[in-house]
Amino acid sequence: TKENGSSKEMKLSSAEKASWQTLSESSKQFLETMMNSIILSLLCQQRERKEDVQKHFNLLKQRMLRFFKTLKVPPRKLGNLKNLLSLQVGEKQMLETNEESLVQLQEEINEAKRSAERIDETVQQLQYKIQVLKNQLEENEKKASKNEILKIKNKKGLLKDVGIIQQSAEMKNMLTLIEKIYEKVDFI
């Protein structure tokens, strides 16, 4: 190809073309593996109609594989294709490493979920204990206030004093003042 991206024509003699050979099995296998990888990659990105797209890709792949069986390439290019096998081995190793990492990551996610569930259970238990303690505290406060009332010796006198305070002019004036303040606040 030229720098501007267009193809250049090469004139080949029939003798040169006669020396061309079909692709080796390892090259064909590598190309098939690459196509499978590309198809899987594209299917992962596909949101809808995956089955239709997969059928279409598989048909294209089969056509390409049939084409590769009869494809003849120059002998000097076969060396490059032989390197593809080592690339394929490297890709398989990377895939295995990625799969192992994925399994490990899934185990870590599962452990994190279990840990979160344990924490949630602990929080619920603590909330229950807090509620029980609040209820006990309220009960104890009620008992304590009853005990304080029972300790008062002159209950009748205390009730009489409370009644006098409620009936006093000062208390009535204070209640009137509070009512007027509420009226003004409501008006604002």
pLDDT, tens digit (0-9, with 9 covering 90-100), for 123-158: 999 999 999 999 999 998 888 888 877 777 777 887
Q: DSSP secondary structure string, 22-59?
A: EPPHHHHHHHHHHHHHHHHHHHHH--S-HHHHHHHHHH
Q: CA 89 to CA 94: how far, in whole Å?
A: 9
The alpha helices in the chain, defined as continuous H runs, are: 14-18, 25-45, 50-70, 75-151, 155-167, 169-187
pLDDT at 77: 53
CB 91 within 8 A of CB 29: no
Reply yes or no on whether the pLDDT at 174 is more than 80: yes
3-state secondary structure of 6: coil
CB 27 within 8 A of CB 84: yes
β-strand partners of 72:
22
> Who wins on pLDDT, 187 or 143?
143
In tens, the pLDDT along 53-102 reads 888 888 988 998 898 888 887 765 555 556 766 777 888 888 888 888 88
CA neighbor of 82 nearest in space, from 16, 33, 29, 20? 29
Dihedrals phi, psi of 22, to nearest 5 degrees:
-75, 160
Q: Where are the domains of the chain?
A: 14-95, 154-188
pLDDT at 4: 56
pLDDT at 1: 42
Q: Record the pTM.
A: 0.36
Percentage above 70 pLDDT, the chain:
88
Round the average pLDDT of the chain to a whole number and report it.
81
Query: Average pLDDT of 166-174?
Result: 87
CB 35 within 8 A of CB 84: no
pLDDT at 186: 74
